Amino acid sequence: MFALGCIQALQCAKNTCPTGITTHNKELQRGLVPKEKAKRVTSFAETVVYGVGMIAHSCGVRQPRDLRRKHIRIVESGGISVPLDQLYPIPPVKPEYSGKTRV
């Protein structure tokens, strides 16, 4: 939304967005130039992809899809860094209830 030019006017649901992003009002939409904004959105998306790749590389994985909960660390109030998978372990999966009664 910011790359499109959103100024957080909080008019999204009122059809009165002053930047023309979230309105059907033709007069307000004049400020939204798709060709110009497409470049900004593309640049933003490319920057995000680059940044996520940099984070993945910093964590020692080849690509972002290899990131796991163990790579995220939370610094607690005492200044100790704890991996997310230790701080919030994934609970064991319970067997599904089939709906059938056992006889």
36-62 pLDDT, tens digit per residue, is: 889 999 999 999 999 999 999 999 999
* pTM greater than 0.75: no
Residue 73 in any domain: the answer is yes
Domain assignment of residue 41, yes or no: yes
1 domain-assigned: no
For residue 5, the SS3 value is coil
Mean pLDDT for 5-29 is 88
Does residue 18 fall inside a structural domain?
Answer: yes
Number of domains in the chain: 1
Q: Which residue has 């607690």 as its token pair?
A: 76
Inside any domain, residue 93: no
Q: Could you tell me the residue range of the domain that residue 37 belongs to?
A: 12-87
Cross-strand bridge partners of residue 82: 74
Q: Is residue 79 part of a domain?
A: yes
